[in-house]
Structure 1
Amino acid sequence: MRMKAYVKFEPSEELIKKTLKLVEMVAATQKAREEVVKKEGKKLEEKMLRRGTNEVTKAVDRGKAKLVVIAMDVEPEEVVMHLPPLCEEKGVPYTYVPSKLELGKASGIEVQAAAVAIIDAGEYSKMLDEIIKEVQKLKK
């Protein structure tokens, strides 16, 4: 498979697994928080995770995204092509995973997700920092 135009580097298998695991854990934590807040009759103030290209773009633009994860099998490529340059401009680290379906499932939805932004890693911030360091090494 040829590399897509928007894919700037090839992440290692270990980095991909770690990234998907982080997305999965943050999504599960967000869901648990939403259930607790819902029982109290309140609304969650800030989501920990944003799913979908439009939501991710807004999170990066507003300076809320800590890490952006982009699927490498997005068709047409133009859907996510703006994300790497936008992340570079805003100083937000980004990485890739092979599949939209995997990214969607890891983020807690039953459909595909072209991109996901982690807004708040909560108790997994150490893992987030490790992933960011690995990504920065790959981009050099």
Structure 2
Amino acid sequence: MGRKSKTKEKEPEEGVENVTMEDQELSYDEKLKYVSVIAKPMATKSQAKRLYRLIKKASKEKGYIRSGLKDVQRRIRLGERGLCVFAGNVTPIDVICHMPAVCEDKSIPYCYTPSRVDLGAAMGVKRGSVMILVKPHASYQELYDEIYSELKAMPVPAGDNLYLPQEKL
């Protein structure tokens, strides 16, 4: 009964298949291929999973999670304590390359995870996050203490690629 449109729908050619790209989730190892060179210490697969679980629990408590470069940087400067999680695939790396040194000066444990999208998803937002500061709370204190002690025990990179002058000949 309705009026048909004047334009005809194109039928797909017989030799050409319609190929649709589905959003395929990359595995942990595939995500590590896109990580920058300064992303050390990197959380293992199981540590990253527990970090995401901690972030998810912390995001349910108001005021116990800080996300984004500007907010985290300001809160650390003002003296907030917690543990810091950085995304490893941030480009350009100049944006966050100073933050590990700031965390070391304030003796805040930190580590990297492979994907900024996963950090945002753990918080429950669709947008990725460059870094997250998680503060302790009674509802997830046990998980927090476990991860905190693991991050404290992680070796801090001691300048693997520093320029060392050659000996005089």
Give the TM interval when normalised to the shorter protein: 0.7 to 0.9
The one-letter code of the counterpart of 1:82 is: H
Q: CA deviation at 1:17?
A: 0.5
Query: Which residue of structure 1 aligns with residue 58 of structure 2?
Result: 26
Question: Match for 2:132 among 116, 121, 126?
Answer: 116
Structure with greater contact order relative to length (CA < 8 Å, sep ≥ 6): 1
2:121 touches 2:127 (CA, 8 Å); kept in 1? yes
Q: CA deviation at 1:2?
A: 6.7
Q: Hey, what's the Cα distance between the residues in 2 that align with 1:80 and 1:100? A: 12
2:58 touches 2:64 (CA, 8 Å); kept in 1? yes
Aligned residues: 124
Alpha-carbon displacement from aligned partner over 1:29-54 (angstroms, at most 9, x marks no partner) = 33xxxxxxxxxxxxxxxx11111011
Greater helix share, structure number:
1
Query: Which residue of structure 2 aligns with residue 105 of structure 1?
Result: 121
What residue ranges of structure 1 are gaps of 5+ in the alignment?
31-46
Q: Hey, what's the Cα distance between the residues in 2 that align with 1:98 and 1:57? A: 20
- Indicate how the Cα distance of structure 1 residues 105 and 139 shifts in structure 2: closer, same or farther if over 3 A, else same: same
Query: Which residue of structure 2 aligns with residue 78 of structure 1?
Result: 94
Q: Hey, what's the Cα distance between the residues in 2 that align with 1:82 and 1:122? A: 31
Q: CA deviation at 1:96?
A: 1.5
Q: Hey, what's the Cα distance between the residues in 2 that align with 1:2 and 1:139? A: 22
- Kindly report which structure 2 residues correspond to 1:1-140, keeping only aligned pairs within 5 A, or say none: 1=33, 4-30=36-62, 47-139=63-155
Q: CA deviation at 1:3?
A: 5.0
Q: CA RMSD in A?
A: 1.6
Q: CA deviation at 1:132?
A: 1.3
Q: CA deviation at 1:20?
A: 0.7
Provide the secondary structure at the position in 1 that maps to 2:61: helix
Provide the secondary structure at the position in 2 that maps to 1:139: coil
Q: Hey, what's the Cα distance between the residues in 1 that align with 2:74 and 2:95? A: 14
1:5 touches 1:81 (CA, 8 Å); kept in 2? no
Q: TM-score, normalization: structure 1?
A: 0.81
What residue ranges of structure 2 are gaps of 5+ in the alignment?
1-32, 157-169
Provide the secondary structure at the position in 1 that maps to 2:103: helix
